[in-house]
Amino acid sequence: MAPRNDSPPKTPSFKKSLDSHALSVAFLWHMHQPYYKDPRSGQYKMPWVRLHGLKDYYDMAAMLDGFPRVRQTFNLVPSLIEQVEDYAHDRAYDEHLLLTERPAKDLTSAEKEKILSGFFSCSYETMIEPYPRFRELYRKRGEDLRNLTSRIRDFSVQDFLDLQVWSNLTWIDPIFEEDPLIGRLSKKGRDFSEEDKQGLLHKQREILAKILPKYRELQDRGQIEISFSPYFHPIMPLICDHTSAKFALPHIQLPKGGFFHPEDAEAQVREGLKLYEKVFGRKPEGLWPSEGSVSEGIIPMLARSGVKWIATDEEILFLSLAMGKAGRPRSAPRRSAVLYRPYRIRVEDRDVAIMFRDHTLSDLIGFVYSKWDAEEAADDFIGRLHRIRKSISREQLPDSVVSVILDGENCWEYYKNDGHDFLSALYTRLSEDRLLQTTTMSDFLRSSGKPQRLPHLFPGSWINHNFRIWIGHPEDNLAWDFLKKARDALVQFEKKAGKTPKREEILKKAWKEIHVAEGSDWNWWYGDEHEGPGTDEFDRLYRSHLLYVYELIGQEPPEELYQPIKSQAVSTHFLPPTGYLKPTIDGKKSHYYEWQQAGHFDTRKAGGTMHQVSSLVSGIYFGSDEKNAYFRVDTTMPGKEFDRDSYGLTFELLQPPRYKISVKEGKVSLFKRRDGSEWKLISSELKFAFVKTLELAIPVSLLEFEETKEIWFRLIGERQGKEMGKWPAVDLIKFDLPSQKGEPIFWEV
């Protein structure tokens, strides 16, 4: 589809009073991505905000310039707004972006492997196959990702450069196809230059900077309404009272500690309102509860906050009408008689309007029409709307509305031409059909008669009318327990903290981390319901937010928080030891077999290229014999330069608790700390050498073990006393020390 003019029509006219003969149709496009920002570094762990920003967020609004009679509601989650602003103002970097920026001729083997692994992460049929060069590169790599190291040799520098460009170009929305740069690169197709790539990256920033101003423009001229969700997308009913999960699932196993914090849900709504008003210049009227999750418990809080309407799925409506408060079933209502009207729910003398989406129509767009011819899909959708209209009496028609609510970004990569053909056909029909009229949620509620009172609101989400996705599985429950422990620790710290500016800043940061961890996206990936290539990254990122809370308040976190919650988490950058070590501690790679049986942690694969300091340490080796634990660190500078530039390394041991090995200014020292006391020097006579690599030996006799002889550690890089990097970033490297010669050894990360 040809791109449309970004400027608004000269004489926009939006009919606020609805035609009594036409059926109202209210679209709500929900725009949301998880909060990908790492709490310590500020780096984005995944690129999806940026890539969907290039492909979906701008064009979904800008397309409406060509259809002035089509009116819609867009729900923008505040944490998404924050991330879009970061990218728009050049404050955000993700690994995909950094790997793209890297000159192809300078890519390391580890970076090349990451590119081959991650740069084809999109729909093959619609985003790879149509482009000959991108398709050629995909086929050269193949579908088997188990041995990418050998595939690297098949790719030339030009191949990697073309892949860097295409993995970004394919995400540029068709609305920009007449842009001179985008058009030229698309036509060129291959043999791109580094200048081509840099031009494309600059164009990305331009596009991302247009997103939020475009929504405000359409809002201010009255064509769209913008609603919001609580800031970090929490499941509000579970935050307020985790036992609400039992209404739909009486036998569900809940977390041990419980969670009852409506004040957190209210804070997330309050902060979302504040950001919305700052960005869009007015207060929103509506709220899409995260994942359509509702309960009666959230209604008074929303009403107090000024929210006038919410929405959820039709299954919640039917269960609300069919079940009493005690869960006793009543006769099921007829679908068409109850679905297409607004309701009002009143709790504790406060009420909020509530709309219920047509599940079938919403899912047709989300999951079905992508495989259809665009014109046929649009005709089918319009035909269904007409059949709904015919099922409604003339008297009820002015107060009837069909709510179509779905994700506004995730489905379009499975449509040809990013869904433009389908949406153009649909919007054309809606513009011309006088028996159908699109409206925003708030305008419909203002123009319709008094909403019908809903006597009871069934607690559940838009997924199977329950909360099973986010609670009940042992992994989900463990995540909730970790969240509660961290929150409790923060509350205790807050009670003792004085009113100093430094403490206030600590509290502000720590509470933000708790609210981030309350988001729905983490538990989406725990349990058996969902699995994806980024599952282990979500696990690490979730735990990193909680670990940062403890770091901010100066408390030791539970040791379990260093272990993956996801039972199937797999490390791609860790190799275990295979036997005893007998290295020569001379700071050099003396011979090939010296560290051959050592365990190995590849920091290049684990840490990416987020900061220049990430290249300071390229690998960590570890193992033991009967008397010593051995460590080797490969750095990118010799020991003399390391000391001269004020770098330092610290091995932090959490098992046995609690030791640290400090490598600084040509000395290696072992310290121990008990119960939050000062670090006590145990030994500065450790055997070590640092010429090209750091090698050191720790006598096991210096360490006090508890029940088992095992070492859990991570490495921290510093410069002038400031932490510059941590490997692993969240997890720990673990290995057992044998109690007797020849005993089997087991290792893990």
Task: Show me where the domains of the chain are located.
Answer: 36-63+90-210, 360-446, 474-562, 574-748
**154 vs 639, residue with greater confidence:** 154
Residue 452 confidence (pLDDT) above 50: yes
The string of pLDDT tens digits covering residues 481-531 is 999 999 999 999 999 877 777 899 999 999 999 999 999 999 999 987 777
By the 10 Å C-beta count (0-12 exposed, 13-18 middle, 19+ buried), 681 is classed as exposed
pLDDT for residue 612: 35
3-state secondary structure 616-658: CEEEEEEEECCCEEEEEEEECCCHHHHHHCCEEEEEEEEECCC
pLDDT band at 297 (very low <50, low <70, confident <90, very high): very high
Residue 370 confidence (pLDDT) above 70: yes
By the 10 Å C-beta count (0-12 exposed, 13-18 middle, 19+ buried), 154 is classed as exposed
The answer to whether the CB of 731 falls within 8 A of the CB of 542 is: no
pLDDT for residue 18: 61
Residue 11 confidence (pLDDT) above 50: no
pLDDT for residue 737: 83
Nearest-10 crossing angle of helices 501-517, 535-553: 160
Q: Residue 193 carries which side chain, given as an amino acid letter?
A: S
Helix (H, G, I), strand (E, B) or coil at 540: helix
In sequence order, the β-bridge partners of residue 519 are 234
**Residue found under tokens 């994700």:** 407
pLDDT for residue 692: 78
pLDDT for residue 223: 98
The tokens describing 63, both together, are 């397309």
pLDDT band at 325 (very low <50, low <70, confident <90, very high): low
**What is the overall mean pLDDT for the chain?**
89
The answer to whether the CB of 305 falls within 8 A of the CB of 266 is: yes
For range 468-479, the mean pLDDT: 94
The string of pLDDT tens digits covering residues 703-722 is 988 777 889 898 988 887 77
For range 383-410, the mean pLDDT: 95
The string of pLDDT tens digits covering residues 304-313 is 999 999 999 9
Cα separations (Å) of 438 from 26, 153, 356, 377? 6, 55, 16, 18
Share of the chain above pLDDT 90, in %: 71
For range 122-140, the mean pLDDT: 96
Residue 169 confidence (pLDDT) above 50: yes
Query: Which CATH fold would you assign to the domain 474-562?
Result: immunoglobulin/albumin-binding domain-like (1.20.1430)
The string of pLDDT tens digits covering residues 23-41 is 999 999 999 999 999 998 8
**748 vs 208, residue with greater confidence:** 208
pLDDT for residue 16: 52
pLDDT band at 547 (very low <50, low <70, confident <90, very high): very high
The string of pLDDT tens digits covering residues 669-696 is 999 987 667 889 999 889 999 987 899 9
- Cα distance between residue 552 and residue 716, in whole Å: 17
For range 263-276, the mean pLDDT: 98
pLDDT for residue 637: 77
Residue 303 confidence (pLDDT) above 90: yes
- Cα distance between residue 542 and residue 562, in whole Å: 11
Q: Which of 18-22, 526-530, 743-747 has the lowest mean pLDDT?
A: 743-747
Neighbouring C-alpha atoms within 13 Å toward the C-beta of 192: 31
Architecture of domain 574-748 in this structure: Sandwich (2.60)
For range 278-301, the mean pLDDT: 97
Residue 115 confidence (pLDDT) above 60: yes
Cα separations (Å) of 374 from 370, 378, 554, 614? 8, 6, 58, 47
Instruction: Count CB atoms within 10 A of the CB of residue 585.
Output: 17
For range 390-400, the mean pLDDT: 93
pLDDT band at 607 (very low <50, low <70, confident <90, very high): very low
pLDDT for residue 739: 58
Residue 427 confidence (pLDDT) above 80: yes
For range 409-414, the mean pLDDT: 94
